[in-house]
Structure 1
Amino acid sequence: MSSDRQITSRRLLLVAAGMSLLGAAAGCRSPWGGGGGPTAAAAPEGFNESLAGPEATPGAAPVTPSAAPSAPPAAAAPAGPSVETVRHTISTAESKPVYELDAERRVVALTIDDGPDPRYTPTVLSLLQQHGIRATFFLIGENAVQYPELVREIADRGHHIANHTWTHPDLRNLSEGKVRDELERTSDLLHRTTGRLPTWFRAPGGDWSTESLKVAADLGMRNMAWSVDPRDWARPGTSAITDRILKDVRPGAIVLNHDGGGDRSQTVAALKAYLPVLVDSGYYFTAPPN
């Protein structure tokens, strides 16, 4: 067997092993129960984990989703045979931002902010499919409304769709009413576009407020922060982004990257560099349930 085939087989086996470790026993604790910091909250009852690359098995080719349907009118009913219409009840403890996953397991959550962007999101999706990775995309409403076909493609490829406000404001400066408008408009749009109600929210810049925590809970969303920030939004260079992630990543890490908000070519190049390193190092990837 050639060297390239040996590497590919090893990566597929690692993905399959990760799936088995996370899903082998019904009593296993979900990595989304938190555990990294004082603000991490336990997963709500019935909260089941959703794994990277569920179709991936040794030797299997990546699954290519069917083409996304054309964009419906903004007021159209949600597409798809199954539409989530019941919001989860979020307790005060569960509303606290989650900064890390279960540190006892060699799992990483890859999160992608500020999209969708037609320049970079398709390439990011291709890279994730290549490595059998599921990620969480925190989408901005005003971008999602422009590119509904990309929103549906993200969902169709099995990634988690999450709320990142409508205009990406500093929520600490907004009244509760304005915060609610930012979050509710985005959740409603993502629901109409994908048939899914977002169950996770991320405040722009990680700047939560008392009002935003309350509104997110009212809308059935928990709050996800991060533990690894390569500051890719500042475009420090591909090597700097790659080195920061590989230096800071650890079991249970939530990694922050961006596919929107400006020139993200460095981020895309960094993903190409560090994803195979993490896979070859024995990490597997998780995303929360939709």
Structure 2
Amino acid sequence: MPSNTAPRAVAVLLSALALSACSAQPSHAFARATTPSPTPSSAIPTVSPSPTAKPKPKSLAWYVAQVPTFPPAPVPVPVQVASSGPATVWSHVPTDQKVAFITIDDGALARPADVPEFIRQAHIPVTMFLNSPAATEYTDYFTRIEATGAVVGNHTIDHPELRGRSYDYQRREICGSADKLQQLFGKRPALFRPPFGEYDHTTAQAARDCGATVMVNWTETVNEGYVRYQTPEKVVKPGDVLLMHFRPALMDDLLGALKAIHKSGLTPALLADYVPGLTDPPTAEGDLPPRR
């Protein structure tokens, strides 16, 4: 009788091979991780660098950005003036140095809010010729400008035309304003500008008696950003004095003056640096000559 051992052995062997084959397949729990295919570059959102924002036109930043780059100002060489007698009169500073001077008058009509900061950021050397009532009412505003290095000059109390008036009248207008400006800013003005640029010998003498060394008029005027020349050559010359006022368009006037000075190959400078002795002006009415 044939033995059934061989068939059973074959069956066992086949069963073992089947189990071995199954155990060689990876289980679902440990299936090989697949590497995700790269995302197409077209599908990746790109962030473009934002361009530098341009200042809003007529903003403070816009005005500052418009200021030309000037060469360094030369070391100032003061111009000698008489130490006695009537005040010296300048409409043009007698210097060959490549500088021009920015002056601002009055103070009562308008005081644009950004002007002090514009002067500070743009490093504009300015001289203010103030009427004393405006200086009294808006002292904080003008003090902010003075803090930039600006100099306060005298422009009378009531802004009258002085030419032809008596010495007493002129002295009252000039000395009265000088007294108040000294009280407000701590220094007696050594620069004086006659209203409307009108003066006579009496004006010059009263100005000196009230502490002013120099009476300053002007060579060019600036209004609403436009420079108006008083000579046929449309150019700012060394030593020229530019006049503007505390008006609504003062920011444009300052910028217009700076561009005209730059176009002429000059650098703005501080007027007081060209007048000797301004660091030690008379300190009080009592230091002045007696009233005549």
| TM-score, scaled relative to structure 1 | 0.63
Instruction: Judge conservation of contact 2:159–2:195 (CA < 8 Å) in 1.
Output: yes
Q: Note closer, same or farther for the CA distance 1:100–1:277 as it changes in structure 2 (3 Å cut).
A: closer
The yes-or-no answer on 1:106 pairing with 2:104 is no
Aligned twin of 2:218: 226
> Residue type of the partner of 2:84?
S
Aligned with 2:199: secondary structure?
coil
1-side partners of 2:249 and 2:183: how far apart? 32
Contact 1:227 1:255 in 2 (8 A): yes
**Equivalent of 1:22, from 72, 75, 82?**
75
* Correspondence for 1:156 among 140, 147, 154: 147
Q: State the structure with more CA Rg.
A: 2
Give the 3-state SS of the residue equivalent to 1:215 in structure 2: helix
- Give the counterpart letter for 2:238 in structure 1: P
Unaligned runs of at least 5 residues, structure 1 = 24-28, 34-41, 45-89, 233-237
TM-score by structure 2 length?
0.62
**Which runs of structure 2 are paired with 1:176-195 in the superposition (5 Å)?**
176-195=167-186
For residues 114-129 of structure 1, what are the structure 2 equivalents within 5 Å?
A: 114-115=106-107, 119-120=111-112, 122-129=113-120
Q: Amino acid of the residue matched to residue 248 of structure 2?
A: S
1:204 aligns with 2:181: no
Whether the aligned pair in 2 keeps the contact of 1:154 and 1:161 (CA below 8 Å) is: no
Structure 2 distance, partners of 1:116, 1:153, is: 16
1:41-87 per-residue CA deviation (whole Å, 9 max, x = no partner) reads: x336xxxxxxxxxxxxxxxxxxxxxxxxxxxxxxxxxxxxxxxxxxx
Residue in structure 1 matched with residue 81 of structure 2 by the alignment: 43
CA contact (8 A) 2:236 2:264 kept: no
Q: 1:234-249, aligned counterparts within 5 Å?
A: 238=224, 241-242=226-227, 244=229, 247-249=234-236
Distance 2:197 2:100 in 1: 19
Alignment length, in residue pairs? 208
CA positional deviation for 1:144: 1.1
Percent of residue pairs identical? 25
Q: Which residues in structure 2 correspond to 1:58-137 (within 5 Å)? A: 90-92=83-85, 95-115=87-107, 119-120=111-112, 122-137=113-128
8 Å contact from structure 1 (residues 118, 150) kept in 2 = no
The alpha carbon displacement at 1:160 in A equals 0.6
CA distance in 1, matches of 2:256, 2:202: 39
Over the residues paired in the alignment, what is the CA RMSD in angstroms? 3.0
Partner of 2:269 in structure 1? 286
Tell me if the contact between 1:141 and 1:166 (Cα under 8 Å) persists in the aligned partners: yes
Amino acid at match of 1:194: F
In structure 1, what residue type is equivalent to 2:92?
A: E
Contact residue 127 and residue 272 of structure 1 kept, 8 A: no
| 3-state SS in 1 of match to 2:75 | helix
Equivalent residue, structure 2, for 1:254: 241
- Whole-angstrom distance in 2 between the partners of 1:270 and 1:276: 10
Distance 2:154 2:204 in 1: 13
Alpha-carbon distance between aligned partners in 1 of 2:160 and 2:228, rounded to the nearest angstrom: 29
For 1:131-165, what per-residue CA distance to the aligned partner results, in whole angstroms no more than 9, with x for missing partners? Answer: 21111100011211211212322222210100000
Alpha-carbon offset, residue 129 of structure 1: 2.2
Per the TM alignment, residue 103 of structure 1 is displaced from its structure 2 partner at its CA by 4.3
Contact 2:106 2:129 in 1 (8 A): yes
> Which structure 2 segments of 5+ residues have no match?
1-51, 55-63, 279-292
Label 1:184 to 1:103 Cα distance change in 2 as closer, same or farther (>3 A): closer
SS of the aligned residue for 1:162 comes to strand
